[in-house]
Amino acid sequence: MEGQLIPSSQEYFRCYGLNQDRLNRAAPDAVVMHPGPMNRGLEIASDVADSERSLILSQVKNGIAVRMAIMAELVGMRPKGSS
């Protein structure tokens, strides 16, 4: 990323990354979501990604299951024992 429109990764994070200060400006009940994989320190600060307001791990886990189910449906797979 160096030398392009944004001079550095640090500058990108400073301008666009989600950090605790930005999250504090959101509604108190706002949650943090990201479909993964996330770039810690570039898109999102680690303390935000690991905070109680973060649903990232659940979102990634559920997203995997949903994508697997969709792919199974597309190729005609059925769980054992189903008709």
Distance, CA of 41 to CA of 38 (rounded, Å): 9
Which pLDDT score is estimated for 82? 67
- What's the mean per-residue pLDDT of the chain? 90
Instruction: Dump pLDDT digits (tens) for 4-37.
Output: 677 899 999 999 999 999 999 999 999 999 988 9
Distance, CA of 8 to CA of 17 (rounded, Å): 13
Domains and CATH numbers, the chain: 9-74 (3.40.50.1370)
Instruction: Dump pLDDT digits (tens) for 61-82.
Output: 999 999 999 999 999 987 676 6
Which pLDDT score is estimated for 71? 94
Distance, CA of 19 to CA of 48 (rounded, Å): 6
The pTM of the full predicted model, rounded to 2 decimals, is 0.72
